[in-house]
Chain A
């Protein structure tokens, strides 16, 4: 097994055997984490979350703005119409209006 291969490279028999071993070992990797690893991961996730940037791109066509998630931000939010949904449940709704003509 090449160490860089994904789950899809396993044969069916290999998969069945791996699952049986996984169950016999009571789900290795799903138990509580060692304290130092837990706090190190928490610190990392806090730092990652605080510096996360979600890039949304807009295209103006026939006086309408079409929003899409930038390729760099795929998976970090969802965009539908004028609404951006963040993983923590926050919804950002954009409302656009035409600038009013300046009066003398």
Chain B
């Protein structure tokens, strides 16, 4: 099964993909190559009985379609999402190589097919971690009393909606930092707010951050300090106005955002009761 890697997939991308599979760590410049490599591989193709098929089509048919529903149902039913997610991720990951081999899509005699394996592993982990995070956040919002409408992650069509939830009329997405950066690589952020999670190495913990457009911020009100992207990591926590050329975003801690949304929703509820 011949494989065609996409134009623009350079030697650097090949090296970084091998290092990714071998579990190496990356500098942030190398990490940028990694993001680019796995975005480019969406357009890689493998010859099948149906002709040339892209890696993304193979991934969706052989990995995501058969495993996503069970994985997500187990997450939604789990008491502790993170604890449940890890063995489930591994269980599916162990099946990826045998499935591709059985389908005749990876072969020792066609080493370029190894990129399909790397591609499926990468995007399965991104998918699995992404939804574990989303389910956890949705559950927390509900427990906190925030009123929202969210897409149904168990419905495969609803899951592909362009946004994950609506709070006070504003459209938002819940994304791990990896997924978030894959979006910002190729497009302007299209929604009103984003909930994401980054790692704080000095404190040995993950922190949740919310990015809001000015209009979503005005609805919950407050003051924000101007800051640039390069200074933001050192400045957190706090409430900041992030100015990038003509785009302005408000950045604040997730708990602070929830507190302000709850107060704003309470004000709306009281007005509606009057």
The verdict on A19 contacting chain B, using a C-beta distance below 8 Å, is: yes
Name A's interface SS: helix
> Contact mask A59-82 → B, CB, 8 Å, 1/0?
000000000000000111000000
Are B230 and A43 in contact, with the CB atoms below 8 A? yes
State the main secondary structure of chain B at its contact with A. helix
Q: Mark B1-44, 1 if CB is under 8 A from A, else 0.
A: 00000111101001101101111111010011011000010010
A38 to B229, CA, bound (A): 10
Interface size on A, residues (CB 8 A): 49
CB distance from A35 to the nearest CB of B (A): 4
Known: A38-B233, A39-B233, A45-B181. A29 touches B7 (CB 8 A): no
* Smallest Cβ-Cβ distance to B112: which chain A residue: A8
Q: In the assembled complex, which residues on chain A have CB atoms less than 8 Å from the CB atom of B122? A: 30
What total of A-B pairs shows CB separation below 8 Å? 166
The yes or no answer to B79 lying at the interface (CB within 8 A) is: no
Question: Do the beta carbons of A16 and B229 come within 8 Å of each other?
Answer: no
B18 adjacent to A44 (CB under 8 Å)? no
Contact at B18–A12, with CB atoms within 8 Å? Answer: no
Contact with A along B211-252 (1 / 0, CB 8 A): 000000000000000001110111010000000110000000
Bound-state CA distance A5–B24 (Å) is 14
Interface centre among A3, A35, A46 (most CB of B within 10 A): A35
Tell me, in angstroms, the Cα distance from A25 to B121 when the chains sit together: 13
Asked, given contacts A7-B114, A33-B199, A74-B7, whether A23 binds B90 with beta carbons under 8 Å apart, the answer is: yes
- The answer to whether A6 and B245 touch across the interface, beta carbons within 8 angstroms, is no
- Counting CB contacts under 8 A, is B129 at the interface? yes
B-side interface residues toward A, CB under 8 Å?
A: 6-9, 11, 14-15, 17-18, 20-26, 28, 31-32, 34-35, 40, 43, 86, 89-90, 93-94, 97, 108, 111-112, 114-115, 117-118, 121-122, 125-126, 129, 176-178, 180-181, 184-188, 197-201, 206-207, 228-230, 232-234, 236, 244-245
